[in-house]
C-alpha cells in the first residue's frame, strides 16, 4: 500500500529506465565511431591537399629559377617538408627574402604524429620508403584501410 507522502521509483521502473538508456547508448556508439572516422578522413584529405599544393608551388617557383640552380636529381622538388615551413631564400633578392609554403607540417590524423611518408621522383610509386633525393609525394604512414578497402596510404 502506497503512502500519500511517499516519492520515488520502484525497482521495476528503475530497471526499465536503465535498460532503455543502455539500448540507446549501444545504438549511439557505432554512429559516434563512424563520425570520428569521417572526421579523420576529412582531416587527412585536407592535410594531404595542403602539403601537395605547397610542394607544387615550390616546384613551380623553382622551375622559374627563382631559387637559383637546383640540386642535381631533385628535379626542383623540395629536399624535405621542413624546407616548405622554414622557407627558401630567393636567389636574386638582395634582401634575402624567404618564401615559405607551409605554416607548419600538419599532424597525421590517423597516426597522431607530424611524420609523413614521402617519395621522391626516383622512388617506386608504391614504395613505402623514401630515397631522400627530394619530396615528390606525401602519404600517411597508417596501415588502416578506408571503408572501400583502399589503404589510406594510397590516398
Could you report the per-residue pLDDT of 19-36, keeping only the tens digit for each? 999 998 888 788 888 899
Which residues make Cβ contacts (< 8 Å) with residue 129, sequence separation at least 6? 123
pLDDT tens per residue, range 112-142: 999 999 999 888 888 888 888 899 999 999 9
Q: What percent of the chain has pLDDT over 90?
A: 59
State the pLDDT confidence band at 72, using cuts at 50, 70 and 90: confident
Residue-wise DSSP of 47-102: HHHHHHHHHHHHHHHHHTTTT-SPPTTSTT--S-HHHHHH-EE-TT-TT-PEE---
Asked whether the predicted pLDDT for residue 12 surpasses 80, the reply is: yes
The domain spans of the chain are: 36-154
pTM reported for the whole predicted model: 0.79
Give yes or no for a contact between 153 and 126, defined as CB atoms under 8 angstroms apart.
no
Amino acid at each position: 500500500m502506497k503512502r500519500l507522502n511517499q516519492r520515488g521509483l520502484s525497482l521495476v521502473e528503475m530497471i526499465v529506465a536503465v535498460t532503455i538508456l543502455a539500448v540507446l547508448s549501444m545504438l549511439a556508439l557505432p554512429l559516434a565511431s563512424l563520425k570520428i572516422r569521417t572526421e579523420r578522413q576529412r582531416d587527412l584529405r585536407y592535410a594531404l591537399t595542403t602539403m601537395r599544393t605547397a610542394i607544387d608551388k615550390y616546384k613551380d617557383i623553382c622551375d622559374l629559377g627563382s631559387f637559383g640552380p637546383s640540386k642535381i636529381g631533385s628535379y626542383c622538388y623540395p629536399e624535405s617538408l621542413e624546407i616548405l615551413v622554414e622557407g627558401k631564400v630567393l636567389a636574386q633578392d638582395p634582401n634575402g627574402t624567404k618564401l615559405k609554403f607551409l605554416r607548419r607540417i600538419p599532424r597525421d590524423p590517423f597516426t597522431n604524429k607530424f611524420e609523413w611518408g614521402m617519395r621522391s621522383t626516383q622512388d617506386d610509386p608504391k614504395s613505402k620508403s623514401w630515397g631522400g633525393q627530394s619530396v615528390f609525394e606525401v602519404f600517411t604512414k597508417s596501415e588502416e584501410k578506408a571503408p572501400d578497402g583502399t589503404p589510406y596510404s594510397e590516398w
